[in-house]
Amino acid sequence: VQSAREIAAVAAAWLIRVEREATPELWDALQVWIDSHPRHRAEFIRQRTAWNRCDKLKMLRPGDGTIDADLLSRIEFTTPEGEGAASGGRGRFGAGGDLRDGAVDLSRRGWLALTAATGIAILGAWYFALQTGWDTYRTAVGARQLVTLSDGSTADLNTGTELRVRMSPGRREVLLEHGEALFRVAHDPRRPFSVTAQSRVVRAVGTEFCVRIRDDDRVEVLVTEGRVALGMPGGPAHSSASAFGNGISMGEIAMLSDRKVDVRHVGTQELDRRLAWTSGRLAFQGETLGQAVEEFNRYNVRQLTIADASIRQMRIGGTFSSTDPDSFVAALEHSFRVAAIRAPDGRGVSLIARHRDAGGNEFHRSLRPSTVRPASPAARAGH
C-alpha cells in the first residue's frame, strides 16, 4: 500500500508528464492509474486544481514583453497605509527596479491597461492571398493534437480540425479551415499573429485564445489571456474597426456572424468548461440535452440522436470523457428519465423519454401498447 505522500508524488509527476506531451497512449495510462484507486483520482484533482491556480501568476507578466526568469524574486507585496482602506483592503505590489511604473495596481483593470499600453492589436485591412509555403495540420474525429509552430507558438487542435500555417519574416498567418483550436501565441510584436476563420480575422501579438467554427458557420473567439483584435480580411478599408469594435480581452467571448459580433464576459467556471476539451473532457452545466448531444457528436463517429422532443430541452450537468459517449448515456439513464436504444450495427444511439404508467411500471413511449407501430430495427435491437 502506498502512502499518501507517495501517491501525491506520483500524481504530481503525472500532471507534469501530460503537460509535456499528451499522446492518447499517455492519457490512457494516466486514466488507468487514476481509476486504480479512489485516492489516486482525488489526489490528482487536488493537484490539478492547485497547479491551475498558479496560472494567476500570469498577471505579473510585465507589459513590455521582457522575459525575466528571476522576476518573482524581485517582487515585494506591500499594503500602503490608508491606501488599503480606500481601495477596500486591496494590496499593491511594487517590483524592485525592473517594472518602470514602480507600484502597479494589480486589479484586473490595471493589468489590462498595462497590456493595452504595449500597443497590441491594430486593425487594418488584411488581404489574404493564397500562396505556397503553407503547412497543413489535421485531426480526425475524436482526435486531438498539440502542434508547436516554428515561432514557438502552439496550437492545440480539437476534434475534426484542419488548419494551415505560414510563417514569414513580417507576419504569422493561420488559416482555420474547420474545427477548433486553442492558440498560445509566442510574444513577438514585430510579427502579428493572425487567425482567419470563415473570412474573419483574429489578430494578436502574444496572447492565448481559442477559435471555433460552429456548424452554422458562426465563428466563436474566446480569449483566455491578453487581448485580440477582430476584423475582416479584404473588406472595405478600415471599416472593420467600426464594425467589430476594438477587439476583446481575457475572459470575453465573441460570436461572429455576418457583420455582427456579440461579445459577453464569461466566468472562470465557464472558461474552464469551454476549455475542458484540451484535456479530453466535455463539461456541461445547465446546457440542454440537445446541446450536449451536439457536442458529443463532434467527437465521435457513433452518433447520438434524440428521438423524443420532450427531452431535448432537459438541462444537464457533468463532466465526461469526450470520446466515451457510453458513460454519458449511462449517466443519463441513471439520473434522468431517459432510455437509450442502441442501433444493431453499433453505429448510433437514440435517446427517448422513459415514462411511468399508473401502476408505477416504467415503459418507453415508443413501445406503449396503444401506439404500436412497425418496430424499427433500432427499437428491436434495444429490446
Partner 1 sequence: VAINEERYLLKALEFEGALRAYLMGCTRDESQVEELLQETYARVLGAGSAPGPEVLSVRTLALTIARTVALQWLRQNRTLPIELVTGADACDIPEVSHLSAGPDHEGEIHDGERELSDLVTAIKALPEECRRVVTLRKVYGYSQQQIAARLQIPQDAVERHLTTAVLRSVEVRIGGDADQPGGTVRFRAFGKQGDRAERA
Residue ranges in contact with partner 1 by CB under 8 A: 3-5, 7-9, 12-13, 15-17, 19-20, 37-39, 41-43, 45-47, 49-51, 53-61, 67-73, 75, 77, 90-91, 93, 106, 148, 152, 154, 184, 208, 225, 283, 285-286, 311, 314-319, 331, 334-338
Least distance to partner 1, CB of residue 236, Å: 36
In degrees and rounded to multiples of 5, residue 317 shows phi and psi of -150, 160
Q: Which is nearer to partner 1, 74 or 259 (CB)?
A: 74
Q: Which is nearer to partner 1, 230 or 282 (CB)?
A: 282
Least distance to partner 1, CB of residue 130, Å: 30
Q: How far is residue 278's CA from residue 180's CA, in Å, rounded to a whole number?
A: 11
Q: Which is nearer to partner 1, 149 or 232 (CB)?
A: 149
> Is residue 182 within a helix (H) or strand (E), and if so which, with residue range?
strand 180-184
Least distance to partner 1, CB of residue 148, Å: 7
Q: Which is nearer to partner 1, 79 or 246 (CB)?
A: 79
Q: How far is residue 194's CA from residue 205's CA, in Å, rounded to a whole number?
A: 8
Neighbours of 276 (CB within 10 A): 16
Least distance to partner 1, CB of residue 71, Å: 6
Instruction: Answer whether 261's CB lies under 8 Å from 254's CB.
Output: yes
Q: How far is residue 98's CA from residue 69's CA, in Å, rounded to a whole number?
A: 12
Cβ neighbors of 327 (< 8 A, separation 6 or more) are: 320, 321
Q: Is the CA virtual torsion 33, 37, 43, 45 positive or negative?
A: positive
Least distance to partner 1, CB of residue 29, Å: 16
Least distance to partner 1, CB of residue 13, Å: 5
In the chain the first and final C-alpha atoms are separated, in Å, by 44
Q: Which is nearer to partner 1, 9 or 301 (CB)?
A: 9
Q: How far is residue 259's CA from residue 133's CA, in Å, rounded to a whole number?
A: 30
Least distance to partner 1, CB of residue 323, Å: 18
CA 292, 184, 214, 336: dihedral to nearest 10 degrees?
0
Nearest to 323 by CA among 32, 38, 34, 28: 28
10: DSSP letter: H
Question: What's the alpha-carbon Rg for the chain, to the nearest Å?
Answer: 25
Least distance to partner 1, CB of residue 371, Å: 22
Least distance to partner 1, CB of residue 210, Å: 15
Least distance to partner 1, CB of residue 258, Å: 33
Helices (H) and strands (E) in the chain, counts: 11, 23
Q: Which is nearer to partner 1, 77 or 127 (CB)?
A: 77
Q: Which is nearer to partner 1, 184 or 302 (CB)?
A: 184
Q: How far is residue 21's CA from residue 113's CA, in Å, rounded to a whole number?
A: 34
Q: Which is nearer to partner 1, 50 or 375 (CB)?
A: 50
What's the one-letter identity of residue 281?
Answer: R
Q: Which is nearer to partner 1, 47 or 239 (CB)?
A: 47
Q: Which is nearer to partner 1, 69 or 130 (CB)?
A: 69
C-alpha cell at 341: 436504444
Distance of CA 263 to the CA centre of its chain: 17
Nearest to 200 by CA among 231, 177, 179, 221: 231
